[in-house]
Amino acid sequence: MGQKSTYIEVGPEVGDAIADGAAVVALESTIISHGMPYPKNIETAREVEAVVRAAGAVPATIAVMDGRFRIGLSAEELEVLAKSADVLKASRRDLGVAFARKLTAATTVATTMIGAAWAGIRVFATGGTGGVHRGVEQTMDVSADLQELARTGVAVVSAGVKSILDIPRTLEYLETMGVPVLGFETREFPAFFSRESGSQVAHRVESAADAAGIMAAHWNSGLGSGLLLANPIPAESAMDPDYIEGVIARAVADAEAAGVVGKDITPYLLARIVELTDGKSLEANIALVKNNARVAAEVASALAETPRLRSPANRVRSPE
């Protein structure tokens, strides 16, 4: 049962899975268009979908295609997003423009959460979320992803945030906004390329079922916001923290020198880090995204077993 309304179209397989209450995992598209170089981006997008399937859930990669959320991209649509360098990176503020002008846009964590919530998908896997940028005192650069976690009822599985960001301030912001940050089998908040950041999460969860139980209680009680499930990169793929910290510091300095600002900062830093590590950071990135996809599928499966899970408050209930 696919669904179509003015601003959203749910693909048939995903629509059926949602209607059946089966496990579905949302996946974002900015990581494809602006987070990784071609062709690794498309290979990874396909592999991540396969990981979700192997773990027993249906993948729903999300983007805006021709002015409408598309929930569950086809192979051709994935290809379009992977190849076109100038596709819009759409955060919440850009959605109205993309809808009105019938644009095709990659969705960030924030906008993928919105599309997922509208479709009724509760679990979303990505690499790293946005956060508070280093130098925020001067720039006020705080990713809209954090605000979205505070308002939209979707659980995001990520390997923490990259230390291109200010991790302690990112965690302070999430605490202020009332967003639960759960560590998957750890108390340490992971730093994307490495398993340690020096910052702690408030709560450690022991399994996917444990995480799903907390999510169900959070939503069923009416608390409503999103949650962040922080899942460290597998030890065998982790990078040396001192090495990657040096690379990141250099990339941040290069961005400043090049005058990069606003929404271009994150893509610039991601690409620069890949260059500076001769592609080693990209391999780590791919490994952690797959690991997040697997855990997200396990959490989605556990949630699917939860009786009477409240539907998201902002779900589009009866599309035309």
For residue 264, the minimal CB distance to ligand PSU (Å) is 8
Residues 22-41 within binding reach of ligand PSU (CB under 6 A) = 28, 30-31, 35
| Residue 209 interacting entry, from ligand PSU, Mn ion, none, C-beta within 5 to 8 Å by type | none
For residue 192, the minimal CB distance to ligand PSU (Å) is 6
Residue 214 CB-density burial (10 A; 0-12 exposed, 13-18 middle, 19+ buried): middle
Residues 154-213 within binding reach of ligand PSU (CB under 6 A) = 162
Residue with Cβ nearer ligand PSU (216 or 289) = 289
| Residue 87 interacting entry, from ligand PSU, Mn ion, none, C-beta within 5 to 8 Å by type | none
For residue 144, the minimal CB distance to ligand PSU (Å) is 6
For residue 263, the minimal CB distance to Mn ion (Å) is 6
Residues 96-155 within binding reach of ligand PSU (CB under 6 A) = 108-109, 127-130, 143-145
Amino acid residing at 230: A
Residue 158 CB-density burial (10 A; 0-12 exposed, 13-18 middle, 19+ buried): buried
Q: Which two tokens stand for residue 45?
A: 């997008």
Cα 265–chain centre separation:
17
The residue count for binding ligand PSU (CB under 6 A) is 17
The Cα 142–Cα 308 span in angstroms is 36
Hey, which residues does 184 pair with through a beta bridge?
205
The angle formed by the CA atoms of residues 79, 85 and 88, to the nearest 5 degrees, is 95
Residue with Cβ nearer ligand PSU (285 or 306) = 285
Residue with Cβ nearer Mn ion (81 or 109) = 109
Q: How far is CA 133 from CA 5, 176, 266, in A?
A: 36, 17, 9
| Residue 28 interacting entry, from Mn ion, ligand PSU, none, C-beta within 5 to 8 Å by type | ligand PSU
Q: Contact 8/316 with Cβ under 8 angstroms?
A: yes
Residue nearest to Mn ion (CB): 141
Residue positions annotated with a catalytic role? 28, 162
| Residue 144 interacting entry, from Mn ion, ligand PSU, none, C-beta within 5 to 8 Å by type | ligand PSU
Q: DSSP label at 311?
A: P
| Binding mask of the shown chain, residues 134 to 173, with x at each position contacting Mn ion by CB under 5 A | -------x--------------------------------
The Cα 26–Cα 24 span in angstroms is 7
Q: Contact 133/141 with Cβ under 8 angstroms?
A: yes
| Residue 160 interacting entry, from Mn ion, ligand PSU, none, C-beta within 5 to 8 Å by type | none
Mapped onto helix, strand or coil, the DSSP state of residue 212 is helix
Q: Interface with ligand PSU by CB under 6 A: which residues? A: 28, 30-31, 35, 108-109, 127-130, 143-145, 162, 263, 266, 270
